[in-house]
Amino acid sequence: MSSEPVPGGPVPSGPVPSGGVNLPQTPSFRLDGRRALVTGAGRGIGLAMAAALAQAGAEVTLAARTAADIEAGAAAIVAAGGKAHAAVLDVGDAAAVAAFFAARPAFQVLVNNAGTNRPMPMWEVSEADYDAVLDLNLRAAFFVAQGAVRAMRAEQLKGGSLIHIGSQMGHVGGPNRSLYCASKWAIEGLNKALALDLAPHGIRSNTIAPTFIETPMTAPFFADPAFRASVLDKIKLGRLGTVEDLMGAVVFLASDAAALVTGTSLVVDGGWTAD
């Protein structure tokens, strides 16, 4: 009988008799038994991240300021067979963030997703605009990561994964996006520094840098035909991103399949930054 695999069938695993080879085994993408936290999880990218992690077996906590959104998201995940909880949290309140992590067991996975944008020419930016974008996109992300890491270290967890939702605008510039680019470039620098601090503790830190993604938040921008055309002209694959385009990325970075991946950015931009 031939020992060749059947085309389209499963690949044999483990020892192969009579002079065969031992094939390496793909590390698991499953997250069974792990606890994950996703901030800004009420809708759009955050909800998709939570769903992806739950579908891979993680027990996911959805955090945001609006209870109705995260409760609906958690209920949908549970109805689909996953494990999920809702937790009202203002990530911009450092004291509330510290209390949040002190009140529950450590998470093995953090998705730092909460963020905002106020697109406008730089000469129109007010101090209030600056504070709103940088405080949420950078300051809050730092202290959420700090809270997650302190809990991981207190419980001596190994194999933790921090995943920060950055942007292609953390790798390039964009018109009317001085604040957003500043915050997302800062996240990329912060990510590299965190990776170095945390590597001795077995904790990884990475970013996901999406292109423009169709979500309820971005829909009003794409209603402008000129803006939509200008975006599609830069995305080499010729279409806007969807939240599904990011779900595999977050599962990969959270899982053992990315065990040697830290301090880097997984750019999901359809080729925007390739030229």
C-alpha span between 231 and 146 (Å, rounded): 35
Looking at CATH, the fold of the domain delimited by 35-221+242-274 is given as: Rossmann fold (3.40.50)
- Which residue stretches of 93-177 are H helix? 94-102, 127-134, 141-154
Question: Bridge partners of 250?
Answer: none
Q: Indicate which residue of 143, 180, 252, 272 is catalytic.
A: 180
Burial of 76 from C-beta contacts in 10 A (0-12 / 13-18 / 19+): middle
Structure tokens at 110: 């953090």
Q: Which helix (H) or strand (E) holds 266?
A: strand 265-268
DSSP string, 18-57: TT------PPP---TT-EEEEES-SSHHHHHHHHHHHHTT
- The reported pTM is 0.91
**Domain ranges within the chain, ordered by starting residue:** 35-221+242-274
pLDDT tens digits, the chain, 275 residues: what are they?
344 443 444 444 455 555 689 999 999 999 999 999 999 999 999 999 999 999 999 999 999 999 999 999 999 999 999 999 999 999 999 999 999 999 999 999 999 999 999 999 999 999 999 999 999 999 999 999 999 999 999 999 888 999 999 999 999 999 999 999 999 999 999 999 999 999 999 999 999 999 999 988 888 889 999 999 999 999 999 999 999 999 999 999 999 999 999 999 999 999 999 98
Which pLDDT score is estimated for 4?
42
Residue 191 corresponds to which tokens in the numbers above?
A: 């990510």
For the question of residue 180 being annotated catalytic, the response is yes
Strand order through the sheet with 109-112: 83-88, 59-64, 35-39, 109-112, 161-165, 204-210, 265-268
In 3D space, the residue among 174, 101, 181, 100 whose CA is nearest the CA of residue 137 turns out to be: 181
Question: What is the spatial distance between Cα 122 and Cα 177, in angstroms, rounded to a whole number?
Answer: 8
H or E, element range at 159: none
Alpha carbon distance 169, 91 (integer Å): 22
Identify the pLDDT of residue 11: 44
